Amino acid sequence: MPSQPKPVLDVLKKYWGYDAFRPLQQDIIESVLDGRDTLGLMPTGGGKSITFQVPTMAMDGMALVVTPIISLMKDQVDRLRSLNIKATYLYAGLTRAEVNRTYDKCLYGNYKFLYVSPERLQSRSFMEHLRQMPVRLIVVDEAHCISQWGYDFRPSFLHIAKVRKLFPNAPVLALTATATPIVVEDIQRCLEFKATNVLSMSFARSNLSYVVRPTEEKVAELIHILRSVPGTAIVYVRSRKRTKQICDELNHAGIHADYYHAGLYVEDKEDKQTKWTGNECRVMVATNAFGMGIDKPDVRLVVHVDIPNSLEEYYQEAGRAGRDGKRSYAVLLVKHTDQRILRRHIIEAFPEKDFIRTVYERVGDFLGVSIGEGFQQMFDFNFNLFCRTYDLPVLPTHNALKILTQAGYIEFVEEIETQSRVMILARKEELYDLDTVTPGADQVLQAILRLYTGLFADYVFINEDVIAFRTGLDQETIYKSLLELTRMHILHYVPRKRTPYIIYTTSREEPKYVLIPRAVYEDLRQRMTDRIEATINYAYSDTGCRERMLLGYFGEKKDDECGHCDLCIDRRKSGDHSPEEVQQGILYMAGLRPRRLEEFINTLSFPKDEILSMLSFLVDEGFIDHLDDDTYSKRP
């Protein structure tokens, strides 16, 4: 008989050190503990992980957490382990030994959390082991991925319904930051909710000003904005190459910036992220790979140099600004050619069906999979070599693989990086008298033993660069030493690897039998078209209210205007107001802290010349001091 759940506030305090929950967290937690299927809609930075981690720690058994974001999976597991909570994960790229070890942990080790990628649910072996585990809660993160109406549909998510049948008494908690009304309904249908149960926060952010800035010189405008708005910033672009280019231009302009994208090594990502979160670096220029799971509250500015394909993406990324509740800005830079570029994305995303069938045939040839073979097998897949081998265009080929995934023929898992890892196999007493051949093998082993803990119990991530620094050995010697120690069964070394994977979800078919159904081609193309047109409407509208447009897209009605987006400010600047209102605005801002001239102009909803004239008057009359650092402060 299960024991009664522990008081959730006590659990929160014991493990996380907080005295109170954020808005909506406790409502979701209590719904889950009552055994109800629950869909939680919480904006970026709202604290989604607490809503399933606390109830799991409050009750017997464990939580199965399905998430498509492998980097976030690792981050959360590391965070839980730092709190002395037993957690582990499974994803493509682990060795068979690591997978079996993870199964044993969950079956016999009283683990509380098992994180899995959605493609893992297609493994018979996994499902057989899972049915033996004490799963009391099923968590679906990024739940919009289960809906064909969502902006990032993943067919592998549909297998979650099979997990429900193994644990009919375990409630499902689905979480997402962005979902339109039709996606909200579809999530609950796909997850077989026993009853409709949606708990949501308003999508409105009263401290976040949405701004669209038309410009033909985006980098120059970006530099101007960064000089005008102080504080930490994120700049989003679409391509990895552009992150480095724009970062270099910002540094050349005297703005301290770094860049981030999915192609960097894990250590580089962690180093860049640490410097940015620690305010050693002011601006991060990044693709959408940056931001997930990063809880930095004082981001003052998020700028999109390139327009995202959907308002869901834009809202989620823009929402990383101003989590501390202070005034912050989400700026979208647009030029006249952006509409054409966005619409071209639709054509690129849906290549001709005959081309898709050709790609399917070439994949089988490239991997050596015969007709009728391959079912549930996973293969390393060198995408760039594949395209070069068959002279295939990169972008259409990439999108063809995604459509084949959505059609259910394969699972294309994009570029997963696995860090090098080691586990000691020998007993401690065997380590004192080794007869190694490779020069430096003993040094490498001793360095690993000094640098890392837990080596005898589990695989531990290692960094060959750190070992090289400590030993003075070159990378090649370290690599050969680790391979020798593996051959001697002293340890097991899994080298770093970065590669996509192909998993055959059906046996290989002849191309003529590969059907691309309407639901994953014509229907998805129309939905992408609708999302892009909604984004264009948002970006190029010159009437209304930006925030009200966004809220309406997500099904939230708002009668009044926000008053602080660019359209609202432009409307107010052209309206009637008195000099006293201008004066009061300047005095209020200058009374909070010293301000630069640009802050008054960008924040106050009055014409620039009136602000300049009133500011000059207030300085002359002694109400405001013009300080040496070129800021203005209200005189005490």
- The pTM for the full model equals 0.79
Query: Average pLDDT per run of 10 along the chain, which is 636 residues long?
Result: 72 92 93 96 82 95 90 84 92 80 89 91 88 95 87 82 93 92 94 95 89 95 93 95 96 96 83 92 93 81 96 92 91 95 93 97 96 90 94 95 92 77 87 77 91 87 88 91 91 85 92 92 93 96 92 88 87 73 89 87 79 89 89 89
User: What is the Cα–Cα distance from 543 to 534, expressed in whole angstroms?
Assistant: 15
Q: Which fold has domain 8-200?
A: Rossmann fold (3.40.50)
Please tell me the predicted confidence (pLDDT) of residue 291. 76
Please tell me the predicted confidence (pLDDT) of residue 575. 64
Burial readout 13-39 (b: 16 or more C-beta within 10 A, e: otherwise): eebbeeeebeebbbbbbebbbeebbbb
Q: Which CATH number fits domain 208-338+530-553: 3.90.340.10, 1.10.3080.10, 2.40.50.100, 3.40.50.300?
A: 3.40.50.300
Reported in sequence order, the residue ranges of 19-99 that DSSP labels E, i.e. its strands, are 38-41, 62-66, 87-90
Q: Which of 112, 134, 531 has the alpha carbon at shortest distance from 310?
A: 531
Please tell me the predicted confidence (pLDDT) of residue 561. 87
Please tell me the predicted confidence (pLDDT) of residue 582. 87
Please tell me the predicted confidence (pLDDT) of residue 381. 93
Please tell me the predicted confidence (pLDDT) of residue 1. 45
Please tell me the predicted confidence (pLDDT) of residue 111. 93
H-state helical runs in 378-419? 383-390, 394-406
Domain 576-634 CATH assignment equals 1.10.10.10 = yes
**Cβ pair 496, 456 in contact under 8 A:** no
DSSP state of 170: S
